[in-house]
Amino acid sequence: MAKIIAEGKTFDVDEGTNLREALLAQDIDLYNTGAKIFNCRGHGTCGTCLVQVEGSVSVPTAAETKRTIFHPQAIHKERRLACQTKVLGDLLVTKFDGYFGDGDEFIWTPGGLLAAQR
């Protein structure tokens, strides 16, 4: 089992679990603004589930690599597409602002929502 800490929640998942599915199953708000409605539903083509992960995860898939070579994801090499990421061990997950999660301001951190988001 792997432990994920995101948006102030701590939960366990099986190793190999898809990060997007794990976050959504915990009602964690993965998408910003219009991306809540308009996203690719986990196919790796829209790039709106961009998150910062600290911990053990899979290597980028071909779909993720293709999507993240373009702006705006390309400028955040430390961030990953949750839909293309497999959990391999304990993780801390952070979401940033911007349509794609490509901004510089936190939306939520492992510790929880920021005061402005509550």
10-residue averages of pLDDT along the chain (118 residues):
98 98 97 95 96 98 92 88 98 97 96 66
- Residue 49 lies inside a defined structural domain of this protein: yes
- Residue 98 lies inside a defined structural domain of this protein: yes
The candidate with the shortest Cα–Cα distance to 36, out of 53, 24, 45, 44, is 24
Other C-beta atoms closer than 10 Å to the C-beta of 38 total 11
Please give the angle made by the CA atoms of 90, 93 and 98, to the nearest 5 degrees: 165
Number of domains composing the chain: 1
C-alpha to C-alpha distance for 1 and 12, rounded to whole angstroms: 6
- Residue 95 lies inside a defined structural domain of this protein: yes
- Residue 9 lies inside a defined structural domain of this protein: yes
For residue 67, the model assigns a pLDDT of: 92
For residue 71, the model assigns a pLDDT of: 85
- Residue 118 lies inside a defined structural domain of this protein: no
C-alpha to C-alpha distance for 75 and 77, rounded to whole angstroms: 6
Q: What's 65's domain CATH number? A: 3.10.20.30
Domain region containing 18: 2-113
